Amino acid sequence: MTALEALQTYFGYDSFRPMQAEIIESVLAGNDTLALLPTGGGKSLCFQVPTLVMAAGDSEGEGLCLVITPLIALMKDQVANLRERGILATAIYTGMSREEQRTALDNCLYGPYRFLYVSPERLESEEFLKRVTQLPICLIAVDEAHCISQWGYDFRPSYLRIAEIRNVLDVPVLALTATATPEVVEDIQHQLGFRQPNVFRTSFARENLHYVVRRTDDKQGQLLHILQRVPGSAIVYVRNRKRTRELAEFINSQLSTFNLADYYHAGLPASERNAKQQAWKNSQTRIIVCTNAFGMGIDKPDVRLVIHYDLPDSIEAYFQEAGRAGRDGQQAWCVLLYSERDKAIVKQRIPNNYPPAEEVERVYQLLCDYLTIGLGSGRDATFALDVEQFCTDMHLPFLTTYSALQLLTNAGYIIYNDEQDLQPRVRITLDKEDLYHLDESPFQERLLSALMRRYTGIFTEAQFIHLPRLAEDLGSTEFAVNSSLIALAKQHIIRYIPAQRVSIVHFPVPRQAEVNLSARVYADRRKVFADKLQAMLEYAENDHYCRSQLMLGYFGEPEAPLCGACDICIANRKAEVSNQQPKVQYCYNPV
Ligand code: ADP
Ligand code: MG
């Protein structure tokens, strides 16, 4: 089977997008490869297609791709997508029960599975590392590979463990990212131990996008003005969850109902998030006011306008979020609202994200006390943690405490996982004897025996259950299983804790007496953070250089042409027409 045949047979597409064929060819030739494609450029196919080709060419029909990716939500999406196409795929992440993890690994060992998705934290588990060497892995794909780099805006220390996996698995690696700054590109290849430098990239230029910065002290007024001027689907990014709602309400109170606005953030329950996302995708809602939790994995082609109400943390983040506009190639606007007053507020983000080391240590010790973990104990324990409650109970400030949890995660003391969809849990509260004397409906009876068979220990402790699997066991639907569980709970036969969205904290090591934050997780990162923020401020305050050129130069494309479409280029053209001094003084060249 050729790559093109695999593309057509499994995915139903006619031809490759730019660079996909070259990347796939490089992977099939057994080369370590770094693929730089912008968001939406089609990175997933770059590891999916060659894996299917390799498996088809293997005499035993074996071939499994280990996909390492930090985004659990996207992982689930991709697994579901592959399954829809009749390709076996599975995922392992923090929060799954041990039994579920073991089952997933067994499936990969014994079944014709093609893709195993794991979060980087899995690589810290000795058991996982031992088992992974037994699997018929033919390729390691590292998605969101900028996370492996110090210089990437989303650095995750657990990504550095991938190098260890490479030592025990002698297969090529494919790294994928949409972050193209030269330092990151260099670092990814270095960290992953590329035998030879090998980078494929397309230009990140987006010719149909108009980048604009509006300086104003009346952001609300400007927002309404722009929303009225530019018709079509719009996204408004703000940084604060509460503000998403307030702004959406403000828009709805000021504009006609045709301009319906809704809000979205990661704190909402999954069902509500899906409904809001769907309504916006179908253009029933025109405007979505959201935090940066919105947009990942959403592929709406006809977004005409992306407004940033607050300054993003970096040019990478801005480029990615603004880039959700105009996927269909038609003209679209990316507007940043900026007020002179923002500068001081924005600078405050540095200490907010990097509170003093003593404070981080204090949060750690208080957290352990709060969860009653004694010194030297707690290894491998997982707790649901309501951070706001924790802060209230321990008299801690929310913002810096939250940052401290992230820093402690980066330093390996804990794994704090913000907003994870927790599987439902069940405990059978009657004892076995009493169960036999009940007369449940036949379906309930079968459900109870399926629960007992699948989840040992269900009589003593609430066990995580997997609705799709139970539905499969019973030849029924998730909805029917769920209703039946609710009915059983009402009869006090079981205790049922439905699926919920919670934050989880896990302790990979026992409680330590003190906290040491190495330069790599603290001082160096703080500097990277401050530098990126500074570059973003310079973008906002720039009034000399073409905005597109400025960004592309930052991404290592110093030769990019003037876009002719940003506010600076347009002001420049107007000045030329009226014979005034042009605004653009010279082309932006970062070197
Ligand atoms: P990225 O990870 O680079 O952001 P994805 O891999 O999620 O992008 O792909 C974005 C979308 O493009 C998906 O819906 C995918 O199915 C589609 N796509 C990818 N490659 C092709 C192709 N060759 N032809 C048509 N559609 C494609
Ligand atoms: Mg992707």
DSSP string, 128-154: HHHHHTTS-EEEEEETTGGGGSTTSTT
- Residues with Cβ within 5 Å of ion ligand 2? 43
Under a CB-based contact definition with an 8 Å cutoff, are residues 120 and 159 in contact? yes
Q: Give me 93's structure tokens.
A: 């992440």
Under a CB-based contact definition with an 8 Å cutoff, are residues 173 and 198 in contact? no
For residue 461, give the 3-state DSSP assignment.
coil
Distances (CA, A) of 33 to 89, 155, 156, 170, 218: 23, 20, 21, 15, 48
The predicted structure's pLDDT at residue 432: 77
Cα separation of 88 and 184, whole Å?
A: 33
The predicted structure's pLDDT at residue 56: 92
The 10 Å CB-count burial string (b at 16+, else e) for 65-90 is: bbbbbbbbbbbeebbeebeeeebbbb
Atom 15, ligand 1: which residue's CA is nearest? 42
Pocket test for ligand 1, best of 117, 299, 300, 316 (most atoms within 8 A of CB): 299
Q: Give me 495's structure tokens.
A: 């205790």
Ligand 1 centroid to Cα of residue 22, in Å, is 15
Question: Would you put residue 193 in left (φ > 0), alpha (ψ -120 to 50) or beta?
Answer: left
**To which H or E segment does residue 12 belong?**
none
Atom 25, ligand 1: which residue's CA is nearest? 13
Q: Which amino acid is at 345?
A: I
CA atoms within 13 A on the CB side of 132: 29
Distances (CA, A) of 173 to 282, 509, 573: 38, 29, 47
The predicted structure's pLDDT at residue 89: 95
Q: Report residue 230 CA to chain centroid gap.
A: 29
Q: Is 43 in the pocket of ligand 1 (CB under 6 A)?
A: yes
Q: Is 45 in the pocket of ligand 1 (CB under 6 A)?
A: yes
Cross-strand bridge partners of residue 335: 212, 307
Sequence-distant (≥ 6) Cβ neighbours of residue 383 within 8 angstroms:
371, 504, 505, 506
Q: Is 17 in the pocket of ligand 1 (CB under 6 A)?
A: yes
Cα separation of 229 and 304, whole Å?
A: 11
Q: Is 299 in the pocket of ligand 1 (CB under 6 A)?
A: yes
Under a CB-based contact definition with an 8 Å cutoff, are residues 139 and 169 in contact? no
The predicted structure's pLDDT at residue 142: 97
Cα separation of 567 and 547, whole Å?
A: 8
Q: Is 549 in the pocket of ligand 1 (CB under 6 A)?
A: no
Sequence-distant (≥ 6) Cβ neighbours of residue 19 within 8 angstroms:
35, 37, 41, 200, 201, 202
Q: Which residues of the chain have pLDDT under 50?
A: 585-591
Q: Is 81 in the pocket of ligand 1 (CB under 6 A)?
A: no
The predicted structure's pLDDT at residue 95: 67
Under a CB-based contact definition with an 8 Å cutoff, are residues 198 and 26 in contact? yes
CA atoms within 13 A on the CB side of 429: 12
Based on its alpha-carbon atoms, the radius of gyration of the chain, rounded to whole angstroms, reads: 26
Cα separation of 317 and 490, whole Å?
A: 48
Distances (CA, A) of 501 to 159, 208, 385, 415: 25, 38, 11, 17
Q: Is 459 in the pocket of ligand 1 (CB under 6 A)?
A: no
Sequence-distant (≥ 6) Cβ neighbours of residue 177 within 8 angstroms:
34, 35, 36, 144, 145, 146, 152, 184, 188
What digits encode the pLDDT tens for the residues 481-532?
989 999 999 999 999 988 776 788 989 899 999 999 999 889 999 999 999 9
Ligand 2 centroid to Cα of residue 142, in Å, is 10
Cα separation of 190 and 528, whole Å?
A: 19
Cα separation of 182 and 35, whole Å?
A: 13
Nearest one of 466, 417, 411 to 266, comparing CA atoms: 417
For residue 317, give the 3-state DSSP assignment.
helix
The predicted structure's pLDDT at residue 591: 36
For residue 448, give the 3-state DSSP assignment.
helix
Q: Which atom of ligand 1 is nearest to the CA of 16?
A: 23
In 139-206, alpha helices (H):
162-168, 182-191
Q: Is 13 in the pocket of ligand 1 (CB under 6 A)?
A: yes
The predicted structure's pLDDT at residue 587: 45
Nearest one of 52, 176, 59 to 114, comparing CA atoms: 52
| Averaged pLDDT of the chain | 90
Ligand 1 centroid to Cα of residue 571, in Å, is 36
Ligand 2 centroid to Cα of residue 147, in Å, is 13
Cross-strand bridge partners of residue 464: 425
DSSP state for residue 423 in the 8-state scheme: P
Q: Which atom of ligand 1 is nearest to the CA of 14?
A: 24
- Strand stretches in 23-136, DSSP E: 33-36, 64-68, 89-92, 115-118
Q: What's the whole-model pTM score?
A: 0.81
Ligand 2 centroid to Cα of residue 83, in Å, is 17
The predicted structure's pLDDT at residue 258: 79
User: In this structure, which ligand is nearest to the CA of 81?
Assistant: 1
Q: Give me 87's structure tokens.
A: 């390709």
Distances (CA, A) of 26 to 6, 152, 489, 568: 16, 25, 55, 40
What digits encode the pLDDT tens for the residues 75-103?
888 898 898 899 999 999 876 778 888 88
Cα separation of 475 and 314, whole Å?
A: 49
Percent of the chain with pLDDT over 70: 97
The predicted structure's pLDDT at residue 553: 93
